[in-house]
Structure 1
Amino acid sequence: MFPTAPTAIIAVFTPENSPLDGALKPILLRGDMDALPMAGSPEEGRTVGTSIQEGCHMPGSAISHSHATTTSDQPSIKDASQLHHGCGHDGHTAMMLITAHWIQENQDKVHRKVVVFFQPAEEARRESDNMSGAEVVIREGLFEAHPDIHAVYGVHGGPGMPVGNFLTGKSAMMAGSGGFTIAIDGTGGHAANPGREQSEPLLAASAIVTCGQTIIARRFEPNNAGVLAFCVVDTLGATAGNVCPGKVEVRGSIRAFNDKDWDYIADELGRISKHIGEAYNCKAEFFPSKGYPVTTNSPHAGEISYNAAATVLKDNKSLNVYTVGYGVGEVPPATGSEDFSYLLLCRPGAFAFLSIGDDFTTMHTPEVKFPAEALKYGGRYFREIVVGPDCTDPLPPPSIQVLPGEPMKS
């Protein structure tokens, strides 16, 4: 169905005994399924194939921790030992299988069309066109094939709390991301011979990194949140200890919770870079590149998400449904980013987090595993979404929607 995302899978459920005329509005449930190019821990424990069978009693399900999916111009990694679900996407896939199996076996309880979307390539953009899996599938006709989808829902596993806690909200859940490159061109030379002939762009880079720290600390609105991270200072091959490089690149990341703040951080960093470059007799050019948009839940879908999680946990007093925000008892939105945000540009919906254990504190590490117990909570959550009320949030305006064939909005 999707020419350049051949591993994307769409399963459509239209219960036979629930006529579409007068039924609840169709929804899409998304589970991403790509792994990371990293070796897993030798103590990984059970494979997700085992967890799937335990969670939904589907004999023969066998997806290992090393399962990976790509879009068509990403290389396949043949050595499975070099792939690991360090972000828990195997668990997301398993929850979708559990949900699909429940829908198939309980059609008398389902009164809407449900599109179950197994998505490849959430983690990385394609080099050829800078698109992620969700954006590729949207541009290749997901919502044209299913224009009646009214709301979208997704869940991501998260560390740091006992299994079964939920986090959701009615506004921004995760930051919009993007990167930058600062190309500094000057004059290098022998380390023993500083002087007027050398402008030493490495010194300019150091000053830019230092001064750039003031953007969030002193120029940013104190009630807003943002991240400016300098991650790489590249001397472009000049590695000898007695060579002052003539060209340097500084690369990093910008994250914010709305486009205005992201643009402000980028504009300030570009301005600082230009003038510091001039002060060091160098030329500094700033190249920003926006990445994933802000992951923003629509208000009523966020309420539906909260109520679904609360129903799942109603008989368990040791677990909670937390909400995202800056108030007392709330959890600030995550500064990570997600390509589920592209689906939320096209339809109202909600993204939630499900805790998968407190024995590790961050994702993208070899220690990450998705326990079978968490799959049961996730499966029940999606079940409540399926049988829950219609989302009354309006469709996003066409001006921000991702449309087939259009260039990526920046």
Structure 2
Amino acid sequence: MRSNEILAAIKAHEGELVAIRRDIHAHPETGFEEVRTSALVARKLRDWGIETHDGIAGTGVIGTLKGRRPGQRAIALRADMDALHIEERTGLPHRSTVPGKMHACGHDGHTTMLLGAARYLAQNPDFGGTVYFIFQPAEEGQGGAAAMVNEGIFERFPVEAIYGMHNQPGQPVGWFGLRSGAMKAGADSWTVTFGGTGGHGGAKPHLATDPTIVQAHFVLAAQNIIGRNVPPLESAVISVGHLAAGAIGSPNIIPTEVVVAGTARTFSPATRSILERRLREVAEGLASIQGCSCRFAYERTTPPLFCAPEQTDIMAAVAVAMVGKEMVNTNIPLTLGGEDFAFMTERRPGSMIMIGNGVKADGSFHNLHTPLYDFNDNILVLGAAYWASLVCRELRFNDKNLPCD
């Protein structure tokens, strides 16, 4: 079936998709708490006759659908389900009903688009092989993808390739973007605790070992790591996001402890190791010079997202067939934002595509992770049809080289 026919078939159910998306939006659930959302997903999949496995990594859901044509190949499509700890200020009728939580990244839309594709494919299983619909919890920095991988999803549901999609505010409806190779940065966190004797900062500072001095030098020296240890053609970021020391009511007292914490972003394993090693060396070296102690911790939170060339080419071909070459950017810029879909592409070849979330007539838009953001319901059908077309492209007639159209 051609992409335009798939679009028309899914368009007939647009009202239901909008209702699902807005229902999820109104009831946001943060990482590993997506009980209501995962129950809704599982119920819909079962209603459409799709074999459903829930309770994976706590609240994850996977649907399994076999095509009616012969074929042994299998692929997976992934959507994330969790919301963020943000107070919504859109004022929309379907706004969040949960104080302090909202779908500010569009995961409500991602989930709904994949549900729309699942419904269509269940009703039109004209492909050879198996498709797995992965609904992942806890994408927002809590390792939901890693938890699913660690529970053995690729052993239970073996696939040759895995695909993801994310909305992109600021790009028009009908736009798609992707790139081969590194796409999103690895997002790590680090914490340094400097310890000293403390003392009277006004009367006897010479008798104290002062961790605030170490902290001041460290914050500045950490930036030199990028300029002098990272290869000039590599991209990396070190940022401080937290400082804590002393008591505001006693500014004359040198504290005994200073805590500095931040993030590190990289695109390659080698650069990642450089940042971890040098942050530790700089922190420990400066502390030693000042006679202070140092405790250093580095957490490799999310690996860089690498998009395999073959899967990226497949995703691009499907997008071009749907919207035309002029609406598909196959070399979008690298971004230092993290994406834990990378835990899945570390285990299986895969790629991710961005779908335009729309731009207002005056050129304005609300970005992700902001209180005024809302997923654009006008792309639900397009996103669902894209997923269905991708399955058609990958599994139709048991020939991955035969495009839908």
- CA 283–238 in structure 1, closer or farther in 2 if over 3 Å, else same: farther
Q: Cα offset for 1:269?
A: 1.6
Instruction: Give the match for residue 85 of structure 2.
Output: 37
Question: Partner letter of residue 115 of structure 1?
Answer: Y
Contact 1:134 1:343 in 2 (8 A): yes
Instruction: Give the match for residue 387 of structure 2.
Output: 382
Could you tell me how far apart the structure 1 residues matched to 2:244 and 2:117 are? 47
Q: How does 1:198-347 map to 2 (within 5 A)?
A: 198-235=208-245, 240-314=250-324, 320-324=327-331, 331-347=332-348
Question: Partner letter of residue 200 of structure 2?
Answer: H
Residue 74 (structure 2) aligned to one of 26, 33, 36: 26
Could you tell me how far apart the structure 1 residues matched to 2:204 and 2:111 are? 58
Contact 2:88 2:101 in 1 (8 A): yes
Q: Cα offset for 1:5?
A: 2.9
The secondary structure found in structure 2 opposite 1:103 is: helix
Contact 1:215 1:268 in 2 (8 A): yes
Residue 66 (structure 2) aligned to one of 1, 14, 21: 14
Could you tell me how far apart the structure 2 residues matched to 1:31 and 1:98 are? 12
Question: Partner letter of residue 111 of structure 1?
Answer: G
Question: Partner letter of residue 267 of structure 1?
Answer: R
The secondary structure found in structure 2 opposite 1:388 is: helix
Instruction: Give the match for residue 54 of structure 1.
Output: none
Question: Partner letter of residue 202 of structure 2?
Answer: A
Could you tell me how far apart the structure 2 residues matched to 1:297 and 1:180 are? 26
Instruction: Give the match for residue 134 of structure 2.
Output: 117
Question: Partner letter of residue 222 of structure 2?
Answer: G
**Consecutive aligned runs of 4 or more in structure 1 exceeding 4 Å deviation:** 1-4, 236-239
- CA 98–239 in structure 1, closer or farther in 2 if over 3 Å, else same: farther
Q: Is 352-361 or 181-190 further displaced after alignment?
A: 352-361
Residue 372 (structure 1) aligned to one of 373, 377, 398: 377
Structure 1 stretches of 5 or more lacking a match?
Answer: 48-64, 67-78, 126-131, 325-330, 393-410
- CA 356–201 in structure 1, closer or farther in 2 if over 3 Å, else same: same
Q: Cα offset for 1:367?
A: 1.4
Contact 2:190 2:298 in 1 (8 A): yes
Could you tell me how far apart the structure 1 residues matched to 2:121 and 2:209 are? 67
Contact 2:164 2:353 in 1 (8 A): yes
Instruction: Give the match for residue 186 of structure 2.
Output: 176
- CA 305–274 in structure 1, closer or farther in 2 if over 3 Å, else same: same
The secondary structure found in structure 2 opposite 1:227 is: strand
Contact 2:86 2:102 in 1 (8 A): yes
Instruction: Give the match for residue 136 of structure 1.
Output: 147
Q: Cα offset for 1:386?
A: 0.6
More helix, by proportion = 2
Contact 2:366 2:373 in 1 (8 A): no
Q: Is 1:99 equivalent to 2:117 in the alignment?
A: yes
Question: Partner letter of residue 27 of structure 1?
Answer: I
- CA 141–278 in structure 1, closer or farther in 2 if over 3 Å, else same: closer
Could you tell me how far apart the structure 1 residues matched to 2:311 and 2:328 are? 15
The secondary structure found in structure 1 opposite 2:238 is: strand
Cα shift readout 1:334-385 (whole Å, capped 9, x = no counterpart) = 1111111111111111111112133335311111111112222212221221
Contact 1:86 1:366 in 2 (8 A): yes
Instruction: Give the match for residue 365 of structure 2.
Output: 360
Contact 1:2 1:137 in 2 (8 A): no
**Across the two proteins, how many residue pairs are aligned to each other?**
341
Question: Partner letter of residue 131 of structure 2?
Answer: V
Could you tell me how far apart the structure 2 residues matched to 1:43 and 1:232 are? 32
Cα shift readout 1:48-71 (whole Å, capped 9, x = no counterpart) = xxxxxxxxxxxxxxxxx64xxxxx
Contact 1:254 1:265 in 2 (8 A): yes
Could you tell me how far apart the structure 1 residues matched to 2:293 and 2:319 are? 54
Question: Partner letter of residue 83 of structure 1?
Answer: K
Could you tell me how far apart the structure 1 residues matched to 2:177 and 2:204 are? 56
The secondary structure found in structure 2 opposite 1:82 is: coil
Could you tell me how far apart the structure 1 residues matched to 2:90 and 2:169 are? 19
Contact 1:2 1:140 in 2 (8 A): no
Question: Partner letter of residue 157 of structure 1?
Answer: N
Could you tell me how far apart the structure 1 residues matched to 2:152 and 2:229 are? 42
- CA 265–36 in structure 1, closer or farther in 2 if over 3 Å, else same: same
Question: Partner letter of residue 287 of structure 2?
Answer: G
Give the root-mean-square deviation of aligned CA atoms.
Answer: 2.2
What's the TM-score once normalised by structure 1's chain length? 0.78
Q: Is 1:90 equivalent to 2:108 in the alignment?
A: yes
Question: Partner letter of residue 275 of structure 1?
Answer: G
The secondary structure found in structure 2 opposite 1:164 is: coil
- CA 182–239 in structure 1, closer or farther in 2 if over 3 Å, else same: farther
Contact 1:183 1:250 in 2 (8 A): yes
Q: Cα offset for 1:166?
A: 1.5
Structure 2 stretches of 5 or more lacking a match?
Answer: 1-52, 401-405
Q: Cα offset for 1:133?
A: 1.5
Could you tell me how far apart the structure 1 residues matched to 2:133 and 2:152 are? 15
More strand, by proportion = 2
Could you tell me how far apart the structure 1 residues matched to 2:249 and 2:365 are? 37
Could you tell me how far apart the structure 2 residues matched to 1:240 and 1:352 are? 53
Instruction: Give the match for residue 70 of structure 1.
Output: none
The secondary structure found in structure 2 opposite 1:291 is: strand
Contact 1:24 1:389 in 2 (8 A): no
